[in-house]
Chain A
Amino acid sequence: MTGRAKAVGQAVAIAAVAGLFALLVWKLAFADKGGAADALARGERPVAPTFVLDRLDASEGEIALADLRGKPIVVNFWASWCIPCKDEAPALQATYEKYRSQGLVVLGIDVRDFRQDARRFVKRFGITYPVVFDGSGSTVGKWGVTGFPETFFVDRSGRLVGKRIQGGIDIERNRQAYDEGLRLVLGSAQ
């Protein structure tokens, strides 16, 4: 092998290793570690990760979180196959009916589910608040969702406040955090 060919080979090998190393560094530096939920747990008030998703409760149309800016929002991640989601559904609907007049929006995000199952769920529990469909789970990483159900509170300025609620909002250990989250978003300024 000539010296020139050897030098080119070495350069290619070094470039390949450098490329892989750069990918590793990029992954470590920018990988989505715990999403917005981690920032919230550290006491920060991160901007709620945006999304545009198809409505489940309408034959067509979509909802963008950005379009709801200025309103207090309860974001609830759920799936029809999740048992605690069934348990908490009446409580979420009751919240929506109670605070709707104050501008509160309860937004359900149906994740990793069959549309027809989710529609059946919505009908069965008489849900009237808006629900969007995220079959691929595109929102899960950005929000830091680790299970279902999970509930977040977005204030009028579009930031997450209060605590992320893991598990049903109706169970005893989550009751206080849920009431506090509602208080924070309803009292928030734009």
Chain B
Amino acid sequence: MTRLLAAALVTLSLAGPAAAGSPVQADLEAEIVCPTCNTTLDQSNSPIAARMKAFIRARIAAGDSASEIKSQLVDQFGPAVLAEPAKRGFDLLAWLVPLGALTVGVLVVGALAWTWSRGGPTADHVSALDPDLAHRVDEELARFED
């Protein structure tokens, strides 16, 4: 039994890295855009999408990695074929700008909340009611109670 478990562990340890490095057809189809319909390949049945799916299948079978397959598709169709912009060069801005905007927004909201919680109006700042107005309010209340 111990030998069987050891053999299973060795098999798993050998198979693990290979499985992790092998691209999955469905994953790539969700990461590549059909150039004529502007949806990802998994959402499209257009002729070029079908051809691209076949290309991906063939490249996976040939042993290419996901990044190699994407690189070949970018070479054919340009960078717009990637559903997500590249994380380098000018395209990196597409990732950094929203993150930066979010960070600035959180900081601004936090600063405002902090300021309001500390600097809000207190009882001292509330101006006293005008005496004439206070008198009129008392009169109205007395009439209302009658």
A positions within 8 Å CB-CB of B = 1, 9, 79, 81-83, 112-115, 117, 135-138
Task: Using CB atoms, name the residue of chain A closest to B78.
Answer: A136
Task: Using CB atoms, name the residue of chain A closest to B36.
Answer: A112
A113 CA / B51 CA spacing, docked (Å): 9
A62 CA / B51 CA spacing, docked (Å): 26
Q: 18 A–B contact pairs at CB < 8 A? A: A1-B119, A9-B108, A81-B47, A112-B48, A113-B76, A114-B51, A114-B55, A114-B76, A115-B76, A117-B51, A135-B75, A135-B76, A135-B78, A136-B77, A136-B78, A136-B80, A137-B77, A137-B78
Contact residues in A for B115 (Cβ distance below 8 Å) = 1
Q: B77 near A81 (CB under 8 angstroms)?
A: no
Contact residues in B for A81 (Cβ distance below 8 Å) = 47-48, 51
Number of A-B residue pairs at CB separation under 8 A:
34
Contact residues in B for A135 (Cβ distance below 8 Å) = 75-78
Contact residues in A for B112 (Cβ distance below 8 Å) = 1
On whether A137 and B76 interact (CB within 8 A), knowing A79-B48, A112-B48, the answer reads no
Least distance between B119 CB and chain A CB atoms (Å): 7
Q: B35 near A112 (CB under 8 angstroms)?
A: yes
Q: B48 near A113 (CB under 8 angstroms)?
A: yes
Contact residues in A for B51 (Cβ distance below 8 Å) = 81, 114, 117
Q: A137 near B35 (CB under 8 angstroms)?
A: yes
A117 CA / B54 CA spacing, docked (Å): 12
